[in-house]
Structure 1
Amino acid sequence: MAQPQTMRTKTAGSLFATDGKPHPLPDALMVVTLALGVLALVTAGFHHLHLVSSWAGLVGILTGAYGQFISVTTRERTLLIVGLGASALGFYLGMAHGGLFGGVIN
């Protein structure tokens, strides 16, 4: 007995990977953005680590923005926004504590 054409095929991967195709570059950018966002946010809590938090936040914002530009699935976009938010918050707190070059260039 043949299956009707209206049956949906089961997608491989995660819950929101709706097209069932691999997306290695957007997934890599998503992971990098999340990692940099966590790094920027954690190091922003320490005043003397403002160089790490501001640079990690800036690079996280840039990778997240490019990831949003080329993202395909809802999962990628959702986690990129989380990483972008953490990167931006870490960046802004790092800038408030001394900035990208604070104490290095006089």
Structure 2
Amino acid sequence: MPRALGPTEREPFRLTLNSDGRKHTRENTLTLIALVCGLVAFVSGFVVSAHMIASWAGVVGFIVGMYSQYVSATTAERSVNIVAIVMSFVGVATGIYHGGFIP
């Protein structure tokens, strides 16, 4: 009970996907691939001439993100996966609106 009244030491802030302390190399790699594809799809989805890039990057990001969500091990990975899946979906939707998968 002495810790309840005394000062407590705080851990330094670290940005990590491994919140459980174990390495998850495959899961982290899938999460980052989905995030990069989602970001590319989202950004290029607003450029009309880049509709093909947005469409394909969005589909790849969506599929990789869904699989990554299925095999994820920590809450941080799941949170990033949801952001990546949403960005991929918006990117593929705007890419299809602007012209689709073929030139």
Query: What TM-score does the superposition give when structure 1 sets the normalisation length?
Result: 0.79
How far does residue 20 in structure 1 lie from its aligned partner after superposition? 1.2
Cα gap change, 1:44 to 1:35, in 2 (>3 Å): same
- For 1:33 and 1:16, the matched residues in 2 are separated by 14
| Secondary structure, counterpart of 1:79 in structure 2 | helix
Higher normalized helix content (fraction of residues):
2
Structure 2: gaps spanning 5 or more residues = 1-10
Equivalence map 1:14-29=2 (5 Å): 14=15, 17-29=18-30
Of all paired residues, the percent bearing the same amino acid is 34
d(CA) in 1 for partners of 2:99, 2:30: 27
Q: Normalising by the residue count of structure 2, what TM-score does the alignment of the two structures yield?
A: 0.82
Give per-residue Cα distances to partners, 1:13-59, cap 9 Å, x unaligned: 74663421100111001111111111001101110110000000000
Structure-2 residue corresponding to 1:50: 51
Distance in 1 of aligned mates of 2:57 and 2:17: 27
Q: Aligned letter for 1:25?
A: R
Partner in structure 2 of residue 82 of structure 1: 83
For residues 32-90 of structure 1, the C-alpha deviation after alignment (integer angstroms, 9 at most, x for no partner) is 11111110011011101100000000000000000001001000000010011101100
Give me the CA root mean square deviation.
1.7
Distance 1:23 1:15 in 2: 11
**Matches of 1:65 and 1:51, distance apart in 2:** 21
SS at match of 1:36: helix
CA change 1:25–1:60 in 2 (3 A) is same
What is the letter of the counterpart of residue 32 of structure 2?
V
